[in-house]
Structure 1
């Protein structure tokens, strides 16, 4: 780095962590920035211009306005204290970054600790107001991503109020251009809404109107995120920036279940990116730190690479492997049958045992009783949850007896709860002293009310109703659903946003309590499908429901999207089978489940002989290839999909096992037009097809080069292809 507006900048420290080069830069005033790039690209960094001299509009300014500096260090710590001046550059309402709180910070020290395969770099920034922040950057040896978080410590003589505090901020993007990188920076994000999770979006910096102003006097900022308790609504908590000329990407993911925000910030030649809790302007968050107290942000995961968006995403999601609950019984990704699309909220002993009889002696391990087991007579499943007492008419011998009968058939019973909310037909709906409130009134969304998990009564009540029932009935699987958002926040703290944060931390503690008291329980994280597919919730779960797109044509599209955002072994993908399904429909549905963990439902007791034979063929192949789903990397081939309701073209997810010798190709056709013949590039090796499943697609290995050559014969058909290196055959 050269000089900037506040003086000379020097390299404070450099580290190579795995294949990532980490650079800390410091100005002579003591402000510190964090830059990343692939270690192999260090020699491609260009000396950057110091100022904007040579541009006509700059040279015409009076001498008193010269020089106009081209960049300055962007602080690795971004926060805003309520007593400090707000940022300039017409940025209030758009961002709280780089306020006086940040510009007054000064570097004090840096330390490095290595223990048990983990290296942690701690950088302390001190405030003239006698408090400090410790910035932590952590690398686990063998991983290709880093974790970052910040801790605020109030050593001042009075309380400090925060109205913004980011988990992570990286700057200096891009170091491969000596000016303002026109037409070379792309922003990648993943959009999401109900039953349409993970749509990939790429836009140029210029399209987002994030070019620097002509003399760096005004801030350009894209602040995006979500407000409430459904963290994957609107967007996934992810962003990436790509320098398309060098092919280098910088990516960031946030592990947080509440209101969050990302900011793509620009005031000069360089772009900076930060992530954290939604601030006062965006997430209604204000936090008071008492004397001697501290506050720790959620963790962010960051990475950089030069080999494409899928490799960047793989680096980020690989970190999740460290947090996924480990169970010896789960290594082979056992298949789930969930009766939701069978009974549609009307499960009872008779239909459950009929299903269990059909599933006995198959490769299916879990039979999950979904919503409605507790409903009162003549009530709907969504109106009476909260009491969690099984309906005696639906279960005349009791739920415990039904679960015992399921186990006799070699299956593990599972059960559905939405224990964070209550329906109006439940008796518990009247326990309003223990519910979340806003402006002093009980918070209602539609007809749902919300338990306050900060209240010991709530924890005691649900411990008895939920954990007690699980233990008493011998249940081995819990599907935890969540079908509404709390919104901007709740009473009971310094701000609505802080009330939301503390409440959600207590919710996660209850998830952990379930695991502690029932160690072998399988926990499915569901929130109207995929609305909680973020790292902190997935760390509490064995799997997450990928979507509520049970039987839509977009099912394989969504399942493929999620390969870039979560581990496929945690992506529970619906495969709803109908007695009326033709050959293509059966193949299309069952092949989709090979994109994650297989979750069956539908007319299992009414399938034709062909349908039953097809299902068992799929189950046998799934058992053979599940190690590839559990441990590997994915790449998407195919046409871009515009409409999810009426998709056109085709896609293939090619997943390679970690040993690089086992491949799984899952190919789907959508509506025409699509090319009849397609080629899927395979890694360099000699390959052989071991087994296939599906119809409407023909596949073979090219004799001349490592290609999977396919003929696409029918619309909305599919094929699964297991491919192995000849060295293993």
Structure 2
């Protein structure tokens, strides 16, 4: 819908029943609107004015009180920096570039196909002759806006890019009204959300006196090939009065950046990939050359939980389809608190039998299967089985044993690295590795880093994977990554890496790939769209894992988020139930010395696995919420809920690590309902209680012991 206002500003509204996006095309040109849900809309600009994104909201959201102020607060549709151009504003900001306001509107094209609404707005810079395409997409009925920017050099001289925004949005509510959410993400302590008023970082400097906006902003950047080391590539703004939420992710397996600050008394938000100032990145576009930014996605909700539900739906729609997302098989992995990288035939065979008896459906042999000597860390790269670890039939006999017990065999692999002592490091050319300026190979912890843009590197990995999967019959690969680096060619490599993963799945469509980067250091939207399973952590302490498991659904849908459950024979029954219960609303990654357990202990494991299998069909469509709020790292009580939108069923897991024995869990979707049934699913013989209070809309839980866990199914009777 296009509206030409009397003041010469032409508004264009694009979206669907759950999304309304308003643009200002500056009164330029004429509109020739056609189509509808199955057609296309095209408007050609002849006046050469700028374009701005005014508002992203839901159709029922409050309209701005002062529309003219909203227009004044809007920013250019795209911000980018070229070498020699710089910014138009002093200070370390990703916005306010010299080139952004110079971009002229040329036209826009709107289409609808296969459940997605798409819009492309074409801009042009008359000085550099860059053609700029702002691309937007949104799944029908889902309040999520996906955005990126494509560039094409239509000039006769090269241009060097120093930064490109994926999404730039101004005219959000004042910083006075907003809270900003971020999530620290450190090794063994992932997904730790924290919040503060936006004004704490963006002070009111008295704009009416200085006639300038504040240079302050909330800035966050991920650096290097562990894109979620330090923070998740996410953030959110929440209105502290009406609870509206703007939640985003940047879909990059490399570096990224986002910023929220003040412009014209309103809040602006910009999302993007690597930049020159933050990451040393640059991209040279020769005449005719093209470049596309990383995708960013912005989800809207009436609260944080609602925005996360929309983002979860979106994540399921953009990821690669795979049967694993429907089946959710139970995976046993021999590493965590068990073999710890020291597999042998003697150790594996009893574990395989015990895992099958417990109900595991996949069995993954973790690190060490290729190790023929001490100090294998800096000699990996050939990915051939050890001859000494598997006597009497070799690794193949162990894989056969896994299959004979009705499980799919899996192997750990760290494909991107080559040890400095490996023969592969000498056989491949220097150009097959990531290199510093001057051509020096990247070396981290005794390992080189392959560059998947080079055909020799890709051919080496194709040979290894086709041997392991195609010849050995391995159906699960845990792809780990235990070094991190940051060099100018990283973005191209990570894009080639994801392309390579897709090609592997094209050749081996039943293969299941787990994405692990030293735990959750690669928990980004781009990787999650290709891999089937995501490691959430390497945390070995069962008492410290619950806050990670509870917050993990903010970053990954429940059916993809692998959570370790590692019961041990020396554990008490309560401790066994605790570690098993931590994984039941995620993806069960079973481990532990099951082969040394008593029959009674093993029955506890079987019961928990059976419970998981009984609910996993709901988890693949469930969306998370937090009855006690997002967890703090040291909280004595934490809780995770998963509601199933297509039914009246809700699952609640609650952990007590200390404090009083009773808590109330808010379940707002069932508030006021008296016909609610409560069933304790885990542990199988609970000492705890859970009762529904329909008037208050809460579940009253009593956990007499600590530590303890409870999984409850809450359903309306009709």
With normalisation by structure 1, the TM-score equals 0.89
Q: Is 1:460 matched with 2:449? A: no
The equivalent residue for 2:530 is 540
Q: 1:280 aligns with which of 276, 281, 293?
A: 276
The equivalent residue for 1:36 is 55
Q: 1:411 aligns with which of 407, 415, 429?
A: 407
Deviation at 1:363?
2.5
The equivalent residue for 2:501 is 511
Q: 1:45 aligns with which of 45, 64, 81?
A: 64
Tell me the distance in 1 between the aligned counterparts of 2:300 and 2:663. Answer: 35
Tell me the distance in 2 between the aligned counterparts of 1:588 and 1:381. Answer: 35
Q: Any idea what SS the aligned residue of 1:150 has? A: strand
The equivalent residue for 1:105 is 103
What does the per-residue CA deviation read over 1:532-576, in whole Å, with 9 as the maximum and x for residues that have no partner?
Answer: 111110111111011111334221110111112210110010001
Tell me the distance in 1 between the aligned counterparts of 2:570 and 2:9. Answer: 70
Q: Is 1:724 matched with 2:708? A: no
* 1:161-180 alignment, distance < 5 Å: 161-174=160-173
* 1:241-280 alignment, distance < 5 Å: 241-280=237-276
The equivalent residue for 1:95 is 93
Deviation at 1:256?
0.7
Q: Any idea what SS the aligned residue of 1:593 has? A: coil
What does the per-residue CA deviation read over 1:593-643, in whole Å, with 9 as the maximum and x for residues that have no partner?
Answer: 11200001111111222211111111111111112221112211237754x
Q: Is 1:601 matched with 2:601? A: no
What does the per-residue CA deviation read over 1:226-279, in whole Å, with 9 as the maximum and x for residues that have no partner?
Answer: 110111111111122222123222222111110111011324311111111121
With over 3 angstroms needed to count, the CA separation of the structure-2 counterparts of 1:701 and 1:164, relative to structure 1, is same
Tell me the distance in 2 between the aligned counterparts of 1:329 and 1:197. Answer: 24
Tell me the distance in 1 between the aligned counterparts of 2:317 and 2:665. Answer: 35
Q: Is 1:692 matched with 2:681? A: yes
Tell me the distance in 2 between the aligned counterparts of 1:529 and 1:106. Answer: 45
What does the per-residue CA deviation read over 1:631-674, in whole Å, with 9 as the maximum and x for residues that have no partner?
Answer: 112211237754x3xx34212212111223222111101122x3
With over 3 angstroms needed to count, the CA separation of the structure-2 counterparts of 1:330 and 1:353, relative to structure 1, is farther
* 1:285-304 alignment, distance < 5 Å: 285-304=281-300
With normalisation by structure 2, the TM-score equals 0.90
Q: 1:616 aligns with which of 603, 606, 610?
A: 606
Q: Is 1:664 matched with 2:651? A: yes
With over 3 angstroms needed to count, the CA separation of the structure-2 counterparts of 1:26 and 1:271, relative to structure 1, is farther
Confirm or deny: 8 A CA contact 1:36 1:304 kept in the other structure. Answer: no
Q: Is 1:708 matched with 2:708? A: no
Q: Any idea what SS the aligned residue of 1:652 has? A: strand
The equivalent residue for 2:348 is 352
With over 3 angstroms needed to count, the CA separation of the structure-2 counterparts of 1:264 and 1:706, relative to structure 1, is closer
Confirm or deny: 8 A CA contact 1:628 1:663 kept in the other structure. Answer: no
Tell me the distance in 1 between the aligned counterparts of 2:631 and 2:137. Answer: 37
The equivalent residue for 1:58 is none
With over 3 angstroms needed to count, the CA separation of the structure-2 counterparts of 1:688 and 1:282, relative to structure 1, is same
Corresponding pairs, count: 679
Q: Any idea what SS the aligned residue of 1:569 has? A: coil
The equivalent residue for 2:418 is 422
Structure 1 unpaired stretches of 5+:
1-6, 52-69, 175-180, 490-495
* 1:563-578 alignment, distance < 5 Å: 563-578=553-568
Tell me the distance in 2 between the aligned counterparts of 1:654 and 1:618. Answer: 18
Q: Any idea what SS the aligned residue of 1:683 has? A: helix
Tell me the distance in 2 between the aligned counterparts of 1:250 and 1:621. Answer: 35
Tell me the distance in 1 between the aligned counterparts of 2:606 and 2:630. Answer: 32
Tell me the distance in 2 between the aligned counterparts of 1:329 and 1:533. Answer: 18
Confirm or deny: 8 A CA contact 1:364 1:411 kept in the other structure. Answer: yes
The equivalent residue for 1:206 is 199
Tell me the distance in 1 between the aligned counterparts of 2:65 and 2:55. Answer: 14
Structure 2 unpaired stretches of 5+:
1-5, 28-47
With over 3 angstroms needed to count, the CA separation of the structure-2 counterparts of 1:401 and 1:456, relative to structure 1, is same
Q: 1:372 aligns with which of 368, 371, 396?
A: 368
The equivalent residue for 1:322 is 317
The equivalent residue for 2:301 is 305
The equivalent residue for 2:33 is none
Confirm or deny: 8 A CA contact 1:347 1:373 kept in the other structure. Answer: yes
Confirm or deny: 8 A CA contact 1:27 1:73 kept in the other structure. Answer: no
Q: Is 1:401 matched with 2:391? A: no
Tell me the distance in 2 between the aligned counterparts of 1:658 and 1:522. Answer: 27
Tell me the distance in 1 between the aligned counterparts of 2:630 and 2:465. Answer: 44
The equivalent residue for 1:387 is 382
Q: Any idea what SS the aligned residue of 1:466 has? A: helix
Tell me the distance in 1 between the aligned counterparts of 2:94 and 2:327. Answer: 47
Tell me the distance in 2 between the aligned counterparts of 1:187 and 1:9. Answer: 35
Confirm or deny: 8 A CA contact 1:669 1:717 kept in the other structure. Answer: yes
What does the per-residue CA deviation read over 1:330-349, in whole Å, with 9 as the maximum and x for residues that have no partner?
Answer: 52311000000221111122
Confirm or deny: 8 A CA contact 1:205 1:211 kept in the other structure. Answer: no
Q: 1:580 aligns with which of 567, 570, 576?
A: 570
Deviation at 1:525?
0.4
Tell me the distance in 2 between the aligned counterparts of 1:480 and 1:570. Answer: 15
Deviation at 1:116?
2.6
Deviation at 1:319?
1.1
Confirm or deny: 8 A CA contact 2:226 2:253 kept in the other structure. Answer: yes
The equivalent residue for 1:337 is 332
With over 3 angstroms needed to count, the CA separation of the structure-2 counterparts of 1:385 and 1:337, relative to structure 1, is same
Q: Any idea what SS the aligned residue of 2:377 has? A: coil
Tell me the distance in 2 between the aligned counterparts of 1:72 and 1:687. Answer: 48
Tell me the distance in 1 between the aligned counterparts of 2:668 and 2:387. Answer: 57
Deviation at 1:519?
1.2
Deviation at 1:680?
3.6
Confirm or deny: 8 A CA contact 1:212 1:267 kept in the other structure. Answer: no
Confirm or deny: 8 A CA contact 1:20 1:36 kept in the other structure. Answer: no
Deviation at 1:701?
2.7
The equivalent residue for 2:234 is 238
What does the per-residue CA deviation read over 1:279-329, in whole Å, with 9 as the maximum and x for residues that have no partner?
Answer: 1101111111111222111211112222x1111122122211123343446
Tell me the distance in 2 between the aligned counterparts of 1:639 and 1:317. Answer: 18
